[in-house]
Each structure stands twice: as C-alpha cells, then as structure tokens.
Amino acid sequence: MKNLKYLNYCYFLIGLFYLLAGCKEEKGWTLLEDDQTKPGVVQNTSVTNGYGQATIHYSLPSSKNVLYVKAEYVMANGQTRVVKSSTYKNEILIDGFPDTQKHTVKLYAVNKAEVASDAVDVTVEPKTPIFDLVFGQMKIAPTFGGVRISSINQEKGDVVIVPMVDSLNNGEYLPLDNYYSQDSLILYNIRGLKSREMKFAFYVRDRWLNKSDTLYTSLTPLEENLFPRQQFSALHLPGDAQYMYGTTSEMMWDGNMNPSRWPALYTVESAGAPQSLTFSIGKEAKLSRVVIFPRRENGFYDKGNMREFEVWGSNSPNLDGSWESWSKLATCTVRKPSGTPAGTNTNADEVYGIAGWSFDMPEDAPKYKYLRIRNLRNWRGSYFIQIAQVQVWGVY
C-alpha cells in the first residue's frame, strides 16, 4: 500500500512538471497582444451621407486579433481627426464637415498590439451641415427690450447662435450672449437693450467651430420697463391659496432678492388642487414678460417652487373668484438647463435659479391691470407655492 501511494505521488509530480512546463511555453492571449502582424483591411464599405456627417458601413477582416476600426480625415481647420469604433459594430460615424464637398476618409483595422492595417480610402459626400440649415431658416425681429431670434432645427443638431451688436455705430461688433440649442424650434430673446436703432450681426456655428455666413440687420428694440413694485398690491379672491407661517403676497415684491430669504411667500402644503394667487400691478399695462425668482432651500428645483404654471390677466376681475373674467396669457414650464432629475443640480441650474425664471407674454395681448398666477404643479409634484420675488416687465 505504501509503495502504491509513493508511485501515485511520483505520477502527480511528473504530471505537475509537464503542466507547468506547458504553461511556460504557451503564452495564450498574450501572443495576440504581441502580434506585430498587420491585420487584414476592412471590406465591403458603403456610405450613408447625413447632414454634415456620414456613416461608413463595413465588414471586419478575418484577423482574429482586431481590437477596433479607426477612421482618419482632415477637418476644415487642417487638423486630422481620428474616430474609433469597436469590433462590436460594423459602422463608424464621421462628423464635423462644414460643407457638401467630397471628402476622403481613411479606414484602418487595428489589432491588440496597436498595429494598423493598410488604409482603405472611402469617399463621403455629406449633406448640408445643420448650422447652415438653421441659418437659412433664421429670422430676426425687434421685441421688448431687445431682439427675437427664431429658426427651425429640424434635425435637432447641436448649434450655437452667435449674436453681435454695433452699439456705437463705429463698425465694431461686440458679442452678446450666445444661444445653445438642440431643440427643433428655436425661439430666443436677447434682452436689456435700449430702444434705439442699432446694427446687429448673427451667425450659426457648430461644436467644431464651423460657421455659417453672417446676417447683418438694423433694428430698434421695443421699449421695455420694469414695473415699479411700489405700485403692486394684493387682491385675495375666493379660491385663492391660503398662506402659511404668517407669510403674505406683499413679500413677493418687497425688494428682498436674497434667494434663501425667510420668510417668503409660502402657501399651505396640504392643497389638493392647483393653487392661485392674485395681485394688481397698479394700472393697465402691456406686459412683455413675468419673472419668477424661486426660493432656494434644498436647491431651486424642490418643494413649492413652481414647475408648471399659468399667467392670467384681467381688468375687471369677478370678486367671486371665478375665472370667466380672466384671459390666459401663457402656460409656463420651468426646465432645468442641465436636464438632470430633481435632486441633482449643476452650476448652470444654480445660475438659472438666481437669474429668475423669465417667461414672455404674447406681444398681441391687450393691456391688463390684474395678474393671476395658477400653479399646476411644483417640484414636489403637488400644488403648494413658494416664491421669493416676482417681477413684471412691459410698457404702460
């Protein structure tokens, strides 16, 4: 029995020796990483041209150690751009083209040792880039306190509208605030300009700094004034919201612009239906915009800060609180610049809250003396309201 155990032990050692020797000789996947053999080329290429871009379809080579496919092409600024696509795909997106000319793209298969195959030249011929499409649809018009830019971005591409003004009429155009958009409908107002004729210039660019032609025009912004808060007064109608903690309507126009202020207007949290509040702006006026300054407690996008609300106007409101004597001016939805869910805020979200949520009123609406704000939902998904300040702009 002892001899048998000894013999089995010897066999075990001999087997282990050959196993270790075999592992030492066999490099497995490391051979692929060290393989300096040039891969085969990509095959069966075809192109789908898009707006300022193109998608190249292909078949991978039969080489087993291909890690990715890369494309190289020259941008408008003369720099070579490299785009990579993993072997889990059989296509690669080439973008950033400023025109509809033919462009040559070089495709390579690259292995795990970063050895590239021979190049395959593919010709792409992109459609009109999106920034040119947006520029072609762009319209400029005067509005209250500035100019209004409108356009169509049907393909929802990333574009930047760059406005400039020659305010001194000396041929030197200075930049105004850029407008960034992916929306299909572009409608943007530049505010804070004086009501006098000025020269403006506008162009559209993309994120690669390709840009359109420039549109030059002379416009006179419409007069716009901040209505004096000292002329505002509360009007509490039946059915309007009830306030908590001793807060009042007057706190909305007391001039305290501290976003974290307390006390501030705060209605009952138990409200089970949309809440409204009513006030007078002193006399009949044509409204250009209403600005709501939210209160910051757990951020601007929380608690009773309004998320979707309506603005109504009247000159002779029914004292029974009914809505027949009111005309709806606007339905307003607050959208975070970052687009992140509630509880996650970026610096852009913070800046937007501090600046106030500004909503334009219809330019063809008549003059009104009384305003009624109806909250459809807050950032908690309920109906109670908290407001730090409210501003109303327009012209008497």
- Tell me if 10 is assigned to some domain: no
Which of 321, 292, 305 lies closest to 379 in space, CA to CA?
305
Q: pLDDT digit string (tens) for 26-72?
A: 334 444 567 788 999 999 999 999 999 999 999 999 988 899 999 99
β-pair type (80-86, 66-74): antiparallel
Contact in structure between 314 and 295 (CB atoms under 8 Å):
no
Q: pLDDT digit string (tens) for 358-379?
A: 999 998 999 999 999 999 999 9
206 and 233 share a domain?
no
- Residue 180 is part of a domain; what is its CATH number? 2.60.40.10
Tell me how far apart the alpha carbons of residues 247 and 263 are, in angstroms, rounded to a whole number. Answer: 6
* pLDDT for 19: 44
Contact in structure between 241 and 282 (CB atoms under 8 Å):
no
pLDDT at 381 over 80: yes
284 and 391 share a domain?
yes
Domain end (from 221, 239, 255): 221
359 and 342 share a domain?
yes
Which of 202, 201, 192, 198 lies closest to 223 in space, CA to CA?
192
- Helix/strand/coil for 267: strand
Domain end (from 124, 149, 177): 124
Domain end (from 64, 97, 124): 124
Q: 15: which 2 tokens?
A: 């087997």
The angle at the Cα of 109, spanning 107 to 114, to the nearest 5 degrees, equals: 120
- Tell me if 15 is assigned to some domain: no
326 and 339 share a domain?
yes
**Which residue in this structure is represented by tokens 């109670």?**
384
Q: What is the pTM of this model?
A: 0.75
Residues 6 or more apart whose CB falls under 8 angstroms from that of 270 comprise 384
- Tell me if 22 is assigned to some domain: no
How far is the first Cα of the chain from the last one, in angstroms, to the nearest whole number?
114
- Tell me if 369 is assigned to some domain: yes
324 and 369 share a domain?
yes
Lowest average pLDDT, out of 134-143, 183-192, 215-224, 313-322, goes to 183-192
* pLDDT for 32: 52
Q: pLDDT digit string (tens) for 331-341?
A: 999 998 888 88
What are the C-alpha distances in Å from 47 to residues 43, 58, 102, 119, 199? 13, 9, 12, 16, 44
- Residue 290 is part of a domain; what is its CATH number? 2.60.120.260
Length of the chain, in residues: 396
Tell me how far apart the alpha carbons of residues 33 and 296 are, in angstroms, rounded to a whole number. Answer: 55
Contact in structure between 386 and 265 (CB atoms under 8 Å):
yes
* pLDDT for 24: 40
Which of 386, 373, 378 lies closest to 287 in space, CA to CA?
373
Which of 226, 224, 225, 231 lies closest to 283 in space, CA to CA?
231
Q: pLDDT digit string (tens) for 9-27?
A: 544 544 544 444 444 433 3
Mean per-residue pLDDT for 151-156? 94
- Tell me if 12 is assigned to some domain: no
